Amino acid sequence: MVFSSLFFVFVFFLANILTQAFVPDIKKKNIVMLCFSLVFYAWSGLRFVPLLLIMTFICWVGAIEVIRAQARGKSGKPILAAAIVLVLLILGIFKYTGFFLKNVQLLTGVPKEIPRIVMPIGISFYTFQLLSYVIDVYRGDAEVQKKYWLLLLYASLFHQCIAGPIVRYRDVYEDILHRKVKLSEVSRGITRFTVGLAKKAILANGCSKVADTLLAAGVIETTSVLGVWLGAICYTLFIYLDFSAYSDMAIGMGLMTGFHYKENFNYPYTADSITDFWRRWHISLSTFFRDYVYIPLGGNRCSKARHIFNMFVVWGLTGMWHGASWNFILWGLYYFVFLVLEKYVIHPEQRIVKPLRRVLTLLVVVIGWVLFRFSDMGMLGTALKGMVGLNGNAFHTAPSWIIFQNNVWFLLFACVSVTPLGTHIANAMRNLSRKSAAWFWTYGVWDILHPLILLVLSTMALAGASYNPFLYFQF
């Protein structure tokens, strides 16, 4: 089940909203929310639920034992380490065993057959959430949760369990125990959800179709230079619209049920440096690695060599987190190189004017998404060579030009949608509504109608659609 399905929107989530509205007290609300969350997770594979239960149990027991050890005057660090190792070992078995054995096989010829291990959906997300919980309890940054089922609720909340954002327990602790639904937040939540749904159903899916047409195996070898770049740009648009759509819907659903999730994207394609890009892109993941890997390693309060090593570790792990494939590791280290160059060599904010910095940053990002897209190293090489005409491909051809002409207005709208222009217009209308009666009524009508319009358009786009994946589900 995905958020951008008619069954989810009009049956599952509507049922969840109604039960949350009519169930009288917070304990019963939480029990019902847990049931919905486990059903949602089990929808993708009932066999994966025990793994979620086990990993939550490990961190639940680990946090309690850490607190008991600290109460006896001990550090609790061995217990923390044991919980972290166990959870990461489980993640590693399911996510990286095949990758490891495949590389061993290439070097040694053994094993003859590589077992196929199906990766549980969302395991990377709820693993990081549970790790942040037990580490924060150890540090004294979060209250220990003595009730297992409430920690399971936190780990399995269907709003964000399988594709983020990565939510820290300390940020939703009060919401789990004492949340209250406000009418103003319900309104904001509906708007945010419908914006995310439209992003996914209309824009992301449309961009992905164009990218798949131009960058498909058997096609990319002869695609023109402009065609490869058009495909790369469409994939760049898709990956942001897809990822941010899920976060928008999660944040919106949270507001409708009393949960407050932090922002996960802040218009990253308007960044004026790679450092700025990673302050804006997948913020919950970036801050996780910052707080639980980078700073414990020493951050930037160390020698230059050590700082570069710390960055290398963080960006290598960032790449590995996204998938068990060399292209993801290469993608992470690609950003490591540019971040080191910005920090110690180029200093772009001192030497390059901001408009040019933005163009150069976006160029780096587009090429980076090409690395991200192709797990097959041969196809990756073909794509990169195709971008500069080294496949013997023409600069432009009629098929690529026709695809561009057929999608030009759609792509222009998609480009505008990844900028804050829409937000600026909405804010301007809101400010005018406070000064003018005419604008007050205009803005009021728009505020009511545009979520409904987006819902109708999204429903039309989804009706009968067979192409509707969420890319982050693979993580």
Single-letter residue type at 274: I
Question: What's the residue count for the chain?
Answer: 475
State the DSSP H helix or E strand holding residue 24, giving kind and residue range, or none if neither: none
What is d(CA 81, CA 222) in angstroms, rounded to the nearest whole number?
52
Nearest to 5 by CA among 462, 466, 472: 462
What is d(CA 209, CA 159) in angstroms, rounded to the nearest whole number?
26
What is d(CA 408, CA 398) in angstroms, rounded to the nearest whole number?
15
Q: Phi then psi for 272, rounded to 5 degrees?
A: -110, 15
Strands (E), 264-319: none
Contacts of 317 (CB under 8 A, 6+ apart): 289, 293, 332
What is d(CA 355, CA 228) in angstroms, rounded to the nearest whole number?
25
Place of tokens 């820290």: 168
User: CB atoms < 10 A from the CB of 397, how many?
Assistant: 15
Give yes or no for a cis peptide into 115 (omega within 30° of 0): no
CA 261 to chain centroid, in Å, comes to: 13
Taken in order 329, 335, 337, 340, the sign of the CA dihedral is: negative
Nearest to 260 by CA among 397, 378, 160: 160
State the DSSP H helix or E strand holding residue 267, giving kind and residue range, or none if neither: none
What is d(CA 362, CA 357) in angstroms, rounded to the nearest whole number?
9
Q: What is the 8-class DSSP label of residue 290?
A: I
Q: Which residues of 73-104 are buried (b: 16+ CB within 10 A; e: fewer)?
A: eeebeebbeebbeebeebbbebbebbbebeee
Q: What are the catalytic residues?
A: 322
Single-letter residue type at 262: K
Q: Are 338 and 271 in contact (CB under 8 A)?
A: no
Label residue 354 exposed, middle or buried (CB < 10 Å: 0-12, 13-18, 19+). Answer: exposed
